[in-house]
Amino acid sequence: MQFTKMHGIGNDFIILDAVRQYVGDPKALAIRLCDRHFGIGADGLILALPSARADARMRIFNSDGSEPEMCGNGIRCLGKFLYDSGLCQKLPMTVETLAGVLTLEMAVEGGVARGVTVNMGKPRLSPGDIPVAASENAVTIDVEGRPLRFFCVSMGNPHAVTFDLFPDGEDLRRLGPLVERSPLFPQRANVEFCRLDGTGGAQVQVWERGVGPTLACGTGACAVLTAAACQGLLPRTAPIRLPGGTLTVRWDGDGCLYMTGPAETVFTGEIAE
């Protein structure tokens, strides 16, 4: 089975062309291939598929085999893969996801996609749409005896954003699951621990649902900008700095969030099925 290893500011993926080769049982395959000791190693597995609604369709599976609705870094990597491999070179390009059809613009140099801007759509703030089991999308969660305020957002997948705490290392690994699996989140949640960086942006530590700590999260960056702008902490365009690099997020006048960042091919290879 042919694969391509890619990353978007450190959030890494295995991309499989499921148009020209058969891919069976992707959940089990994701668990096996994403293992960093016995497999290729990645945060997730992405399938490039045909679509009746768009230029291509994306399915993504976390390293634990769960299937999230969307992934911002993953869709940038898929867009570059589709363009560079010749599977689709339409500009702009549309990709069907479980969160809807998204539009990608690519910066192309020398016939290769270098950077990608994704129209991530409008953030969803209604508790029922996120979902969060509360009357408002701003909630307080007791985390090890400390009340932390979270602003909840859906970017097609659920996020909980706080500016009350910025843990790292073992603290992040301990506290992240407590928030992800809070009874307030019936579908669990991606968690963003943030702080303002003093230069008009925010620094973010990510606990990704079904994965754990990751170097970046594109939908998370959009959720952070939404939460910060709604609370008057940041303007509607700002750099969101994650451990693996920086994404620029713009909340435009049409109500949609536009995320811009790089996508890189690491290597290609073949693995026994």
Q: Please write the tens of the pLDDT for every residue from 118-142.
A: 999 999 999 999 999 999 999 999 9
Q: Please write the tens of the pLDDT for every residue from 44-64.
A: 999 999 999 999 999 999 999
From the candidates 71, 77, 88, 194, give the one annotated as an active-site residue. 71
Q: Check residue 126 and give its pLDDT.
A: 98
Q: Please write the tens of the pLDDT for every residue from 214-232.
A: 999 999 999 999 999 999 9
165 closest CA partner among 154, 152, 149, 153: 149
Distance, CA of 156 to CA of 98 (rounded, Å): 8
Task: Indicate where the chain has its CATH 3.10.310.10 domain(s).
Answer: 2-120+260-270, 138-254
Name the one residue in this structure whose structure tokens are 């148009």: 19
As a whole number, the mean pLDDT across the chain is: 97
* CA angle in degrees (0–180, nearest 5) for 109-110-112: 70
Fold of 138-254: Diaminopimelate Epimerase; Chain A, domain 1 (3.10.310)
Q: Please write the tens of the pLDDT for every residue from 144-193.
A: 999 999 999 999 999 999 999 999 999 999 999 999 999 999 999 999 99
Stated pTM of the model: 0.92
> Quick check: 10 and 266 in contact, CB under 8 A?
no
Maximum separation of any 2 CA atoms in the chain, in Å: 55
Instruction: Say what percent of the chain tops pLDDT 70.
Output: 100
Q: Check residue 272 and give its pLDDT.
A: 83
Provide the token pair at 130.
Answer: 């996120």
Active site annotation includes 256? no
DSSP string covering 132-188: -SSSSSEEEEEETTEEEEEEEEESSSEEEEESS----HHHHHHHHHHHHT-TT-TT-
Does the domain at residues 2-120+260-270 carry the CATH identifier 3.10.310.10?
yes
Q: Check residue 220 and give its pLDDT.
A: 97
Q: Check residue 219 and give its pLDDT.
A: 96
From the candidates 77, 88, 152, 217, give the one annotated as an active-site residue. 217
